[in-house]
Structure 1
Amino acid sequence: MGWWFRIDLWKRVVVGLVLGAVTGLLLRQALGADAAGANVTAWAKPIGDAFINLIKMLVVPLIFTTLVSGVLAMGDPKKLGSLGGRALAMYMCTTLIAVSIGLLIGSLIQPGAGFDTTTVATADLESARSQLAANPQPGSVGEQLMHTILSIIPTNPVAAMAQGDVLPIIFFAILFGIGILMSGDTGKPLANVMNSAAEAMMKLTLIVMETAPLGVFALMAWVMGDRGLTILAVLGKMTASLYIACGLHILITYGFIIKGLLRLPLFDFFRGAVDAQAVAFSTSSSNATLPMTISCATANLGIGKPIASSVLPLGATINMDGTALYQGLIALFAAQALGIEMTVSMYFTIALMATLVSIGTAGIPSVSLFLAATTLSVVGVSPDQTVLIIALLFPFDRILDMMRTVTNITGDLAVATAVAKWEGELDEVVFRARDRV
């Protein structure tokens, strides 16, 4: 098996992704939809879930140790101001651009025009109602903003770690690192412990990432075996709208950041990010992909440890361009399907609300779909109609979520590259390396 491990990880992940998709579709063709769904749920889903659990296991300790270590590596807490300010400004700008692209593509393709809303299954309606009840969201823009701000400050850091609440963990880790720096010589033993822990977590991440090809294979086999390509027949225009909008955002917005602002080769950026993109596509989770994202940033793109350990965990929670873009598309889909006439002010309100809703969204599969209740209220969709729209999209959301997550983590890496370049923490020799083929 030595030959297998000598192949670049991203190539092995892509092989697993393609073979998994082919396996799932072949099983669906040979056994029929119901039998194939039961088959892959029995063997493929547990393997995929085990892989996701492995990388979720890394997320909290990796964020905490690497972020504290990153703060210590800066040596001066004042550097956090320029670093954090630049990252947040870029994240907000790219999110607004993402929503705008989503609204533009939705207006051109009109995925909801003429859609038959009576095709929703009763079971899907009940599932949507229960999920919405479990995911209540503040209604107004002000309430949403206040909810986001308050969610950053943990009342119990240990509980936040146990629950995997990324924003409070980031907040506490930054303050903890600053506290160690301010302790001077007294804090050096603890600083050494945190640096050692961060290095150990990075090594453990590399070990777990070797299981990615198998995990990706199992996840894709499950998705395709259970769902197949029926989404193309049922929601083809919505799928096309999302994939086109996300693709344009990745190429134009992130391409401009890398090529236009930073004057770096765009191909090298995408080549360095492909490992994380492949894992993101299969897991549909920004948080689950975070260990791979950090690994790609440091090993493939030459992003310095202080930047990778601070900007990327923040991005995994704050920077949800794919989510924001999808919120805008859902609002247009609903308005078109229900015959609601859109006004210019509604477009602006959707853009603002989608941006706010996306901030702090949990980086787990399909959660953004249920946050759409807030955005849909902007276009005058009633609660019952909201349940109807979400029930329409829910059975197929996994395939849509794959592309949203790829967009999210690509944006994280683009912003991290920009901040690293401006802070003098980008190794361009590594970034431009030609031996990654």
Structure 2
Amino acid sequence: MRAVARRWFGIVLWKRILAALVLGAIAGLVVGDASEQIKWVGDLFIRMIKMLIVPLVFVTLVSGVTAMKDPKRLGSIGSKAIALYLGTTFLAIVIGIVLALVLRPGAGIDLSGAEATTLDSAGSLTDRLMGIVPENPFAAFAEGNVLAVIFFAVLVGAGLILSAERGKPLVAVFDAGSETMLKVTAIVMEFAPFGVFALVAWVMGTVGPATFINVFLLAVAVYLGCFLHMLIVHGGIVKLFARLPVLPFFRGVREPQLVAYSTSSSSATLPASLSAAEHNLGISAPVASSVLPLGATINMDGTALYVALISIFAAQAFGLPLDFFDYVLIGFTTTLVSIGTASVPSASLFLMAAVLDVIGMSSAQTAIVVGFILPFDRILDMMRTVANVTGDLAVATVVSVWEKDLDPEIYRALPTE
């Protein structure tokens, strides 16, 4: 038994996760709906990850802010990260629009069989921005409001810097807490292969490939678009802005990409992203702990690409002609309403409803499109989450280089096999 355990733990984690993903897909196709019986294993893994998110974000961000020694540096890091996030989101929308026009996935699609589905309101942009400032920090912790936790953590970190010598004992506590939470994350991630196997088996068993017959071209467009965006845009900013080779970057983000694909949640992938940033990419703690939680909440590259694609897909299916101004509206609206929407469940659907409204779709047509998308949205969501997470790590890499805080030896080091 010990020999088996040694061989198991001797295999690098990303390889175990990849094997679990492939085997889970095969198992799901073989057993079909019976895969529902093991879904609880995947749900348990996601619960374990979500258990870590708030304490991990809070202690690592406070520790990271105090390590900066100067509150002004946090503003520098934040402004650079937000500018890059907005830029990559815009380029994702452009790729989505171009692919929709070239592949025309909505041409000839019959939506008459779709069951209309309406969505509750996601709340106004003002309400979402106001929600960043918590009335009660402990309530924000309990509710898992990551943006509010980030805001409070930044204030605590800045306060500790200003406290100078008197704040040092508490700084040491947060430093130890940050190290402890990263170790706890490593322990939880050892359960990832089992959770990934169960989740992928459930998705493939309950959805299955037959669902894709009517939307095959749309699925191809989404997967191709996300792949191109990661390769060209994310790889491009690492190469052009950070002046780093691209291969070590993609090699270093494999683990969070696999977790993102199986969980379909940027927030749930955050612990894996923080670990990969530090140990694989050489990103400093101050940058990783501030840029990655922010990106997990507001960066939506894959989702923005998807919404642009779906908007044009719907217009093609309903025979609604679009002109250049409509494409500009799609890009502008998607970028605008994406701010703060990532923390809302089914964020892409709320985005899509807003964009379809500005290009002239009726509420009834929007409900039909949502009903048509829902049955297979999970598998598409898996890929766009990978793009979201990869974007977070690419931006963090660039910002770390700009801040002269990236360890090139760790970045270029070959992984331990």
Give 1:323-402 correspondences, 5 Å limit: 323-363=303-343, 366-402=346-382
Give the match for residue 280 of structure 2.
300
Distance in 1 separating the partners of 2:157 and 2:289: 12
Contact 1:330 1:376 in 2 (8 A): no
- C-alpha separation in 2, matches of 1:378 and 1:431: 44
Deviation (angstroms), 1:261: 2.2
1:137 to partner: Cα distance: 4.2
Compute the TM-score of the two structures, normalised by the length of structure 2: 0.96
Identity %: 52
1:26-47, Cα deviation, whole Å (9 max, x unpaired): 11xxxxxxxx31x1112x2100
Pairing partner for 2:175 from 188, 192, 195: 195
2:52 to 30, 53, 58: 58
Moved more, 215-224 or 159-168: 159-168
- Which AA in structure 1 matches 2:220? A
Deviates more, 1:8-17 or 1:184-193: 184-193
Show the counterpart of 2:110.
Answer: 116
- Displacement of 1:364 in angstroms is 7.0
Aligned runs of 1:221-232 on 2, under 5 Å?
221-232=201-212
**Deviation readout 1:36-67 (Å, 9 max, x if unpaired):** 31x1112x210000000000000000000000
Give CA-to-partner distance per residue, 1:129-156, whole Å, 9 cap, x none. Answer: 2xx02x4344xxxxx3x34432322222
Per-residue displacement from partner, 1:2-48 (whole Å, max 9, x unpaired)?
A: 11101111101101100100110111xxxxxxxx31x1112x21000
Deviation readout 1:70-99 (Å, 9 max, x if unpaired) = 001111111112111110100000001101
- For the residues of structure 1 that align with 2:344 and 2:208, how far apart are their CA atoms? 22
Instruction: Determine which of 94, 104, 107 is the counterpart of 1:100.
Output: 94
> Partner letter of residue 146 of structure 2?
V
Alignment of 1:169-248 (within 5 A): 169-248=149-228
Contact kept? 1:231, 1:396, Cα under 8 Å: yes
Any conservation in 2 of the 1:366–1:398 contact (CA below 8 Å)?
no
Check whether the contact 2:299–2:342 (CA below 8 A) recurs between aligned residues.
no
SS in 1 for 2:81: helix
Structure 2 SS opposite 1:323: helix
Does residue 40 in structure 1 map to residue 40 in structure 2? no
1:433 alignment partner in structure 2: 413
Q: Match for residue 33 of structure 1?
A: none
1:158 to 108, 132, 138: 138
Contact kept, 8 Å, 1:137 with 1:371, in 2: the verdict is: no
1:178-208 superposed Cα distances (whole Å, 9 cap, x missing partner):
0111112222222121111111111100000
The alignment partner of 2:71 has SS state of: coil
Residue of 11, 21, 26 corresponding to 2:25: 21
Between 1:395-404 and 1:146-155, the stretch displaced more is: 146-155
The amino acid of 1:65's aligned partner reads V
Structure 1 residue 6 corresponds to structure 2 residue 10 = yes
State whether residues 302 and 387 of structure 2, in contact with CA within 8 Å, keep that contact through their aligned partners in structure 1.
Answer: yes
Residue deviations 1:203-239, cap 9 Å, x none?
1000000000111011011000111112331211111
Please point out which of 136, 140, 158 is paired with 2:122. Answer: 136
Amino acid in the other structure paired with 1:395: P
Deviating 4+ runs (over 6 angstroms): none
Cα 1:365–1:17 change in 2 (3 A) is farther
Q: Distance in 1 between matches of 2:178 and 2:122?
A: 36
**Corresponding residue number in structure 2 for 1:291:** 271
Maintained 8 Å contact 2:300/2:342 = no
Unpaired runs of 5+ in structure 1? 28-35, 139-143
1:71 aligned residue: 65
Asked if structure 1 preserves the Cα contact closer than 8 Å seen for 2:81 and 2:399, the reply is: yes
Is contact 2:274–2:292 with CA below 8 Å preserved after alignment? yes
Instruction: Give the letter for the 1:41 counterpart.
Output: E
Structure 2: runs of 5+ lacking an equivalent:
none
Cα pair 2:114 2:372 within 8 Å, conserved: yes
Whole-Å separation in 2 of the counterparts to 1:293 and 1:226: 29
CA distance in 2, matches of 1:365, 1:431: 34
Deviating more after overlay: 320-329 vs 151-160: 151-160
